[in-house]
Amino acid sequence: MRRIFRAAGIDYQQLRALVRAYVWLDYAALFGAYGPAERQRVAIRLALAWGFMSLLGLGLAGMITVARDPFLAAILLITSTMMWTGLIVIAQPANLAVPDDHDIVGFRPVDSRTLFAVRVTALLMPALETIVMMGWLPVLAFLTRVEGSLTLAMAAAAGMVTASTFGTLGIVAVFGWLIRVIAPEKLTRMLAYAGGMAGLVLSAGVMVGIHHLVDSDGPVPFMTATVPRDWRTMWFPPVWFASYVALVSGSRGSAGLAGSLLSFAALAAVGFALRGRLSADYGHRVTELTSLSRPHAAPDAKTWRLLRNETRAVALLVASHLRYDVRFQLAVASSVAMGLLFGVVMSSSWSLPVDPFDGGTGGATPMAPLFALLFVPTQIYQALVVSAGYEASWLFYCTPANRIAIITAARDAIGALVIAPLTLLLAAVYLFAFGHAMHAVALAASLGLMAYGCFQLNVLLAPRLPFSLPMTGDRTRGIPMFTGIVVMLLGSPMFVLFQLFAYRGPASTIAAVAGLVVLNLGLMSLTQRRLARKLAGQGYSHL
Angstrom distance (rounded) from CA 416 to CA 161? 42
Which of 446, 454, 430 minimizes the C-alpha distance to 504?
446
For residue 353, report the phi and psi dihedrals to the nearest 5 degrees. -65, 150
Stretch touching another protein by CB under 8 A, among 128-136, 200-208, 352-360, 395-403: 395-403
Alpha-carbon distance 284 to 184, whole Å? 12
Distance CA(56)–CA(262), nearest Å, equals: 28
Shortest distance in whole angstroms from residue 163 CB to another protein? 37
Told to check if 401 binds another protein by CB under 8 A, we report yes
Strand partners, 386: 469
Within positions 305 to 344, which residues make up the interface with another protein, using CB under 8 A? Answer: 305, 307-310, 312-313, 316-317, 319-321, 323-325, 328
In whole angstroms, the minimum distance from the beta carbon of 290 to another protein comes to: 9
Could you say which of 1, 146, 220, 398 contacts another protein (CB under 8 A)? 398
Told to check if 300 binds another protein by CB under 8 A, we report: no
How many angstroms separate the CA atoms of 143 and 123, rounded?
A: 30
Does 7 interact with another protein (rule: CB under 8 A)? no
- In the complex, least distance from residue 484 CB atom to another protein, rounded to whole angstroms: 24
Distance CA 211, CA 341 (A): 20
| 378 contacts another protein (rule: CB under 8 A) | no
Q: Of the listed pieces 139-147, 241-249, 388-396, 420-428, which binds another protein according to CB under 8 A?
A: 388-396
Site for another protein (CB under 8 A): which residue of 49, 332, 376, 388? 388
309 versus 349: smaller Cβ distance to another protein: 309
Residue 344 in contact with residue 364, Cβ under 8 Å? no
394 contacts another protein (rule: CB under 8 A): yes
The enclosing H or E element of 15 equals helix 12-27
Check residue 539 for interaction with another protein (CB under 8 A). yes
* Nearer to another protein (CB atom), residue 108 or residue 308: 308
Compare residues 10 and 187 and give the one whose CB is closer to another protein.
187
Contacts of 151 (CB under 8 A, 6+ apart): 248
In the complex, minimum distance from the CB of residue 513 to another protein, in angstroms, rounded to a whole number: 34
Distance, in Å, from the CA atom of 45 to the CA atom of 477, rounded to the nearest integer, reads 12
- Residue 504 sits in the site that holds another protein (CB under 8 A): no
Interface with another protein, residue 298, by CB under 8 A: yes
In the bound complex, what is the minimum distance in angstroms from residue 115's beta carbon to another protein?
Answer: 20
Mask: binding to another protein, 461-500, rule CB under 8 A, as x and -?
A: ------x---------------------------------
Q: Measured from the CB of residue 376, what is the shortest distance to another protein in angstroms?
A: 22
Q: 3-state DSSP call for residue 67? A: coil
Q: How many helices (H) and strands (E) are present in the chain, helices listed first?
A: 23, 0
Cα-to-chain-centroid distance, residue 229? 34
Does residue 361 touch another protein according to CB under 8 A?
no
Interatomic CA distance for residues 197 and 338, integer angstroms: 9
Report how far residue 230's alpha carbon sits from residue 243's, in angstroms, rounded to the nearest whole number. 11
Torsion (CA) 308, 314, 320, 323 in degrees, nearest 10: -110
Contact status, residue 123 vs residue 92, Cβ threshold 8 Å: yes
By C-alpha distance, which of 277, 244, 217 is closest to 70?
244
In angstroms, give the least distance from the CB of 370 to another protein. Answer: 33
Given a contact cutoff of 8 angstroms between Cβ atoms, the answer to whether 74 and 261 are in contact is: no
Q: Does 400 bind another protein (CB under 8 A)?
A: yes
Q: Which residue among 112, 114, 233, 387 contacts another protein (CB under 8 A)?
A: 387
380 binds another protein (CB under 8 A): no
Helix crossing, 479-497 with 367-385: angle to 10°?
Answer: 150
37 binds another protein (CB under 8 A): no
Near another protein by CB under 8 A: residue from 36, 183, 293, 350: 293
Applying CB under 8 A, which of residues 7, 146, 301, 500 lies at the interface with another protein? 301
Inter-residue contact 309 to 396 (CB < 8 Å): no
Binding another protein (rule: CB under 8 A), the pick from 304, 425, 436, 470 is 304
Q: Which stretch binds another protein (CB under 8 A): 4-12, 13-21, 188-196, 386-394?
A: 386-394
If one counts every other C-beta atom within 10 angstroms of the C-beta of residue 49, the result is 21
Query: Taking the complex as a whole, how short is the minimal distance between the CB of residue 470 and another protein, in angstroms?
Result: 11
Interface size with another protein, residues (CB under 8 A): 43
CA 278 to CA 286: how far, in whole Å?
12
Start-end of H helices in 145-254: 150-181, 184-214, 219-224, 237-248
Nearer CB in complex with another protein: 217/300: 300
x/- mask, another protein, residues 429-468, rule CB under 8 A, reads --------------------------------------x-
Cβ 464 to another protein shortest distance, Å: 15
Which spans of this chain sit near another protein (rule: CB under 8 A)? 293-294, 296-299, 301, 304-305, 307-310, 312-313, 316-317, 319-321, 323-325, 328, 387-389, 391-392, 394-402, 467, 537, 539-540, 543
